[in-house]
Structure 1
C-alpha cells in the first residue's frame, strides 16, 4: 500500500529567515486577493475565482507550502464551468434587485423603515452563504444546499464570517483603494472558518 505524505506545516522561523510562517501566509493572502480581484473582473467568474482562492489557501494551510500563481490558475480553470458561470450571473441580478429595493425604501412607501434592516440582513446573509459555498471541500464546493447547511450547522463560524464581511464593507467604504485586496482576506476568512471545525460533516446534496 502506498502511503502519501504531506509537507509539515512550519510554525516558526527557519535559521536565517527574516519573516516567519505567519508572514508567509499573510503574503499569500494578499497575492491571492489580487489574483481573485483580477479573475472577478468579468463578474460571472466570481464564484470560480473565490473557490480557486479558497482551495489554494486551504492547500497552503494544510501543507505549509506557499500559494502560487500556477496553483490558483489551475483551480480557476477547473472551476470555471457552465454551472459556475450561471451562478455568477446571479450576482449582477442580485445587485440590481438590491439597488431597486434600496431606492424604493428611500421613498414614502408604508413599512419602508421596517424593511430597510431586513434588506441589509438579507444581503449580509447572502454574502455569508456565498462565501461558505466557495470554501467547502473540493467535492462539495459551490453547492448552495451544502453552503446553506454549513451556515446553519455552524452558527459561531457563520457569525465570525459575518463579522469579516461587515469589516470588509467598512474598509471598502472608508478606503476604496483597498478594494483589490479585500477578496483575499474574505476567502481566507471563509477557509479558516471552514477548517476550524473539520468534524462537522456537510449534508449530502
Structure 2
C-alpha cells in the first residue's frame, strides 16, 4: 500500500497560513532591509544596524519566529556602544575612497590605471570584512580582527560575500528604488556565510 507523501517540517503551514516558510523568510529579509536602512541614516550607526540585522535574522532562524520591528530595535540598542559608534566612522571613509577612485578613473594621472583597481579591491575587501564582523556572535561581536581572520580562513565564503556586495551595487545603480531593501539581503548573506568559517 502506498502512502501519500508527507510534507517536510520546513514545508508545513499553520492553519490559515497563506504562504509557506520560504515566503516568510523573504518577508523577514525585506523588513530587516528597511529597518537597517532607517537605522543607517545617522551613518555612524551603520555597523550596529547591520549587527542588529544579523542578530535578528539568526534569532528568527533559531526559534522559527518572524522578525519583529521591536526585536530588531532591541538588538540595535544592545549594539549601540561608544566603540561601535566610533567604528561607524569607517563607512564614510570607504565612501571617500570610492569617490577618489572614481576621480582617478576620469583623470589622466600617471599610475591611475593601476591605483584605481587596487583601491576598488581594497574597498571591496574592507566591506566583506565589515559584513563578516557584524555577523559575529558573542564573544566576537563587531570584531574587525576576527572578521578579517574568518575571511582569510574561509576564502570561498569571502568570495560569496564579495559577490553579494557587487550584486547589491549593480542593483542599486540599475534600480535605485531597491536601495532601501538591499541591506537585508547583505545581512542575510553574511549571517548564512558565517557558520561556514573554519574559525567558527
TM-score by length of 1: 0.88
2:66 counterpart of 1:66: yes
Instruction: Give the equivalent residue in structure 2 for 1:128.
Output: 128
**Structure 2 unaligned residues grouped into runs of 5+:** 1-8
Q: Detail structure 1 runs of 4+ shifted over 3 Å in the superposition.
A: none
Instruction: Give the equivalent residue in structure 1 for 2:91.
Output: 91
2:42 counterpart of 1:36: no
Written as runs of structure 1 = structure 2, the 5 A alignment for 1:112-191 is 112-191=112-191
Contact 1:55/1:138 (<8 A) preserved: no
CA–CA separation in structure 2 for the residues paired with 1:201 and 1:94: 27
Q: CA deviation at 1:102?
A: 3.0
> C-alpha deviations, 1:50-108, integer Å up to 9, x for none?
00000000111122111111111111001001101100112212322331343134222
Q: CA deviation at 1:30?
A: 0.4
TM-score by length of 2: 0.90
> C-alpha deviations, 1:27-54, integer Å up to 9, x for none?
0100010000000000000000000000
Contact 1:48/1:79 (<8 A) preserved: yes
Mean alpha-carbon deviation: is it higher for 97-106 or for 108-117?
97-106
**Structure 1 unaligned residues grouped into runs of 5+:** 1-9
CA–CA separation in structure 2 for the residues paired with 1:67 and 1:101: 38
> C-alpha deviations, 1:154-205, integer Å up to 9, x for none?
111111111111110000000001010000000001001113x26x235xxx
2:12 counterpart of 1:13: yes
Q: CA deviation at 1:139?
A: 1.9
